[in-house]
Chain A
Amino acid sequence: MDKNNTDRNLRPEDFEFVQAEKKLYDKKFETKPIGYFRDAMIRFGKNKTNVVATTILFAIIIGTILIPIFSNKNYELQESDLAFLPPRIPLIEQLGFLDGTSDKEGLPVDPSTIDPETGLGIPLGYYPEAIEMDTLENYEEECVDRNVLCKNGFNVLSVDAAATSVTIQSANFLQLDKNQNAFIRIVVEEFENADGAELNVWIKPEFAGDYELIGTIDEAGTFDFDPFELFPDLLFPIVSQIRLELTASSPQERVHLTSIEAYDDTQTDPIFKDSGFVLSQYQIIDGAGLYVRAKGEITMANFTYNDYTAKLGPTERLLPRSEYDAIIAENPQCVASPHPDTDNYPDGWVFPEGCPIMEVYSQTEPVIVGDVAYFSYDLVLNYQLYKGYEEMPYYYFGTDFNGRDLFTLLWVATRTSLLLGLVVAGINVSIGIVYGAVSGYYGGTVDLILQRITEVIGRIPWLVTLAIFVSFFGPGIQTLIFVLIVSGWIGPQSVTRTQFYRYKGREYVLASRTLGAKDGRLIFRHILPNGIGTIITASILTIPYTIFAESTISYLGFGVGHGQEFNIFGITFSGVSVGVLLSDGRNYLLNRPYLTIFPAILISILMITFNMFGNALRDAFNPSLRGSE
């Protein structure tokens, strides 16, 4: 088809006038007019990511207000008996994590707990009820600690580089009876690099006498010494500590001691035996050297531990009478009946289920002061009911080292951070607006001087400001706010100044001035309202900056802290901010990472969404600035 060749044979009659008779009026807009704010809101809503970010931000803000109010858990008192409970979240706990258990690894087993059936033992201080038995496993490990659980092995004695001899002495006394043909046996596992080194054995034949040399060892093996052969005149049994002296010329010459024993005719087993841990407890009493444990064996256990059962299950306690009476008065269902185990607890009694006190074993001897008898009950508490929880509580984010609920505490901390951010940003913006207005409105010399001052203050490193305020006020909220203000007002003032330069030459300002308006009126009634949109949107971005700085300073320990409480304009702040929580968690990075992870995630989300919200707001109000971050 060729467009140019279409039929163009048009006659004049084919045309008619559009408006031969009619008049043309301005047509009404068919769409509604859009105001500045509405336009901004439309632009704001177009960026879906920012809408999501803003929603999250407002959800966090609402959360900080509501969650501390509706929380039924303690986030203020110190309850160290509930410290370090791991996170436990409903539903998610079924997936096998965040279920209130923690994996314990490499804990030394207490031999007395070893179950004869399974041969497995558990470490001291852990409740067997709370251990998930199918996860319990024991294994042997080499140990070199002077620990009572570290068995067998030998002890290595060597001299210091500068010394030629070192002497160790037993803690216990040997008792050797001449009539029973008693003798001492020393087992030396190895004589390392021995080159003229000797191990001398000393005992004190007479109780009040001096130590006498009874033998010398210079190679590995088992050696028997009979002191009565050396001292035939002795009448009484020997009661003495034993001393071993190593004489050597270099630290490389080491003797490995396995055991020191004593035997006599009364029994086939040794009457005295020091080996392993007991042998390692010998003290160096003379000379200089090193006495260390080597190749010991220790049984370790790995298991999954339910901290909730352990800490909120039945707990044996001594409870003062007053507290006992209070519990009984509060709980009418607590009706005592005699203890079924009459053999062990003849004076005891039990309570039915649902009572915070489960059973009472006995009561202590009363102390009578005046007319009042003071005594305590030895009893078993249902700790969960005792703490006021009908069911096993869910600490979503666990508890901190003071036993406070981290979940609630985190929201309280975020509230503090947010409020501080708002208050400080408010102060900064107020100062900045006044300063920037004066600087921008008057211009010229005033502006020059004010801007030089700004430059000096703006160039002070925050470490300097911090040092000055800390030395005057000490760490705390005052220092924190001052430090944040000193550097914080510079940004708002420069934005304000720019806006004033932009608007002060406009015709309407000139018109107002010719009508006789004063400077104050021009600044606050004419120029400021025009620039305020830009100033406010720019100022919103100072809030996340302030939160950022606040948490950093608090993290370093110069800001708010636990136990502080303060009041600004009638708003009470707790002394906990996210920076403080992270600072607390720093000491437990290895074993309790949840103390760090949850606050870190929350502050990250808060900062990210706040920044996105601020940027989105600025883009919406000043489309020309879009993209220049």
Chain B
Amino acid sequence: MIRTIWIFIIISIILSLNFILLKLAPEFPPVTEEQKGIYYARQVADGYMTLRVVEDPDEVDEIQYKVANNLTLGECPKCYYRPDDPTNPQKYWVYEPVALSTQYFRWVGNVVTEWNWGLSTRVAVNTPVFDVLIGRNADGTFSGSSRIRTTMTLNLIALAFYIPIGFTLGIIAALNKNSWIDNAISFFVMVFISVPSFVVMTMLVMIFGFQLGWFPNQWPANDLGGAIQYTALVIPVLGLSFGAIAGLTRTTRAELTEVLTSEFVLLARTKGLTRRQAVIRHAMRNSMVPLVPGIIFSFVGLLSGSVIIERIYSIPGMGRIYLRAMTQGQYDYNLVLAITAFYTIIGLFAVLLVDLSYGIVDPRIRMGARR
């Protein structure tokens, strides 16, 4: 229980830290005046800024002078001054940010009560960022290109692909310890643990996408139906899986070899079980204890690793839009915040899941049990 609360505390610390630091960084609001109007109006409505109307001619002149000479940048870099008439202003709407602490609590309130993560500033200007991620149009319909879904689908397929292979290879290696099979598998593991995933992915695209041409060399457009939708999955799933397979094989092998030498396995053999029965019924279950958390963590690693895969293969997923939101000089903080929140929350829920899974896999470990 304490553990669960602690994990929620970590999530909120990371997200708060992220919010506060990004708010302190230089801002990149939308570019055109029209878009700015909508954006700042929404900032005021969400409570991050205050709106003040300036009609006093002296003050108007002063603001006009400052805006024309870029003096506002030094004074109040995040303020926005909107004139009623750009050439001969009589009136200014001045948008000023409120104190950071107030902004922070407003933001927490907006997210918790309304699931309002703010508007995108550069990638999809003035669209609520969560709508960008799930592919919801302005009229509430879904465009069918949910970025979260694309990324999750890809990663879940990779998960379903690598777990059986990793297990099998690990078990084979452990049962044939020090034979040539074990050596071959260990060599494979060494190679794929060491080689960065973007190298593996680039080579896969080059060989199977370009040179042999068996699979598409990049992600097909969404509306392109037919077999290409499925063949396009092959390269990214392989690119995601190789490292994960290697990791899983290595842990499975290490755990299983350790368990296989324990006395209870010997006991199982002496009481007459075959080697197969002893391995499957006794050794496997015990070697699972550290493996389940390993798999859960590797899924998190897979998810953040898919940023690179998505970039190489032009997959319109979370990672790709994260990189777009991080284009130099075009930072889209609200979007970055929402995406990083997605990764943070998934990562920490995985930790929670790991803690809970210990109790299920190994009944000796109980959450919150006293010594």
Interface residues in chain A, defined as those with a beta carbon under 8 Å from any beta carbon in chain B: 452, 455-456, 459-464, 466-468, 470-472, 474-475, 544, 548, 551-552, 555-556, 558, 579, 582, 585-586, 589-590, 593, 596-597, 600, 603-604, 607-608, 610-612, 627-629
Contacts and interface: CB of A to CB of B under 8 A. Distances in A.
A245 to B, nearest CB: 34
A579 B25 CA distance: 27
Contact of B196 (A468, A475, A603): A603
A611 B203 contact: no
B340 to A, nearest CB: 4
Contact of A608 (B194, B197, B323, B347): B194
Given A463-B322, A464-B14, A629-B254, A582 B198 contact: yes
B82 interface: no
Given A471-B22, A556-B311, A600 B202 contact: yes
B308 A555 contact: yes
Interface string B302-328: 001001100110000000001100101
Given A604-B199, A628-B258, 6 more contacts: A463-B307, A467-B22, A472-B25, A548-B196, A589-B210, A607-B195
A486 to B, nearest CB: 11
Interface stretch (B123-131, B274-282, B331-339): B331-339
B206 interface: yes
Nearest to B189: A629
A470 B326 contact: yes
Contacts of B333: 471
Given A558-B326, A589-B210, A627-B254, A552 B198 contact: yes
Contact of A461 (B17, B22, B347): B347
B191 interface: yes
Contact of B22 (A468, A544, A590, A612): A468
A604 B340 contact: no
Q: Select the residue from B202, B308, B347 with max chain A CB neighbours within 10 A.
A: B202
Contact of B348 (A459, A471, A544): A459
Contacts of B13: 456
A586 B203 CA distance: 10
Interface residues of B, number: 51
A109 B246 CA distance: 50
B340 A464 contact: yes
B347 A611 contact: no
Contacts of A610: 194
Contact of A468 (B18, B257, B308): B18
Given A456-B13, A471-B333, A555 B198 contact: yes
19 contacts: A456-B10, A459-B344, A460-B344, A463-B343, A468-B21, A470-B326, A472-B21, A472-B25, A556-B308, A556-B323, A582-B202, A585-B202, A586-B312, A589-B217, A596-B203, A597-B203, A600-B199, A603-B195, A611-B190
A448 B10 CA distance: 15
B191 A608 contact: yes
Please report whether the interface of chain B is mostly helix, strand, loop or mixed according to DSSP: helix
B343 A464 contact: yes
Contact of A462 (B17, B304, B331): B304
B18 A464 contact: yes
Contact of A627 (B18, B206, B257, B347): B257
B205 interface: yes
Contacts of A475: 328
Q: Select the residue from A466, A544, A556, A582 with max chain B CB neighbours within 10 A.
A: A556
Given A456-B13, A467-B336, A604-B191, A589 B202 contact: yes
B122 interface: no
A474 B323 CA distance: 13
B304 A463 contact: yes
A471 B250 contact: no
A600 B196 CA distance: 9
A384 B195 CA distance: 38
Contacts of B328: 470, 474-475
Interface string B196-240: 111100110110011100000100000000000000000000000
B348 to A, nearest CB: 6
B351 interface: yes
A472 B307 CA distance: 21
Nearest to B257: A627
A464 B13 CA distance: 12
Contacts of B21: 468, 471-472
Nearest to A468: B21
Contacts of B340: 461, 463-464, 467
Contacts of B351: 459
B193 interface: yes
A587 to B, nearest CB: 11
Contacts of A460: 14, 17, 344
A589 B217 CA distance: 10
B206 A459 contact: no
A623 to B, nearest CB: 16
Given A463-B343, A586-B312, A611 B193 contact: yes
A593 B304 CA distance: 27
B211 A593 contact: yes
Contacts of A579: 198
A45 B258 CA distance: 25
A56 to B, nearest CB: 13
Given A459-B351, A472-B25, A558-B326, A589 B250 contact: no
A357 B308 CA distance: 49
A589 B210 CA distance: 7
Contacts of B193: 611
A470 B340 CA distance: 14
Contacts of A628: 254, 258
Nearest to A599: B199
A594 to B, nearest CB: 11
A629 B344 contact: no
Given A463-B322, A463-B339, A611-B194, A455 B18 contact: no
A302 B333 CA distance: 51
Contacts of A607: 194-196
Contacts of B203: 596-597, 600
Contacts of A456: 10, 13-14
Interface in B171-201: 190-191, 193-199
Contacts of A551: 196, 198
Contacts of A600: 199, 202-203
A596 B217 CA distance: 15
A582 B199 contact: yes
B344 A461 contact: yes
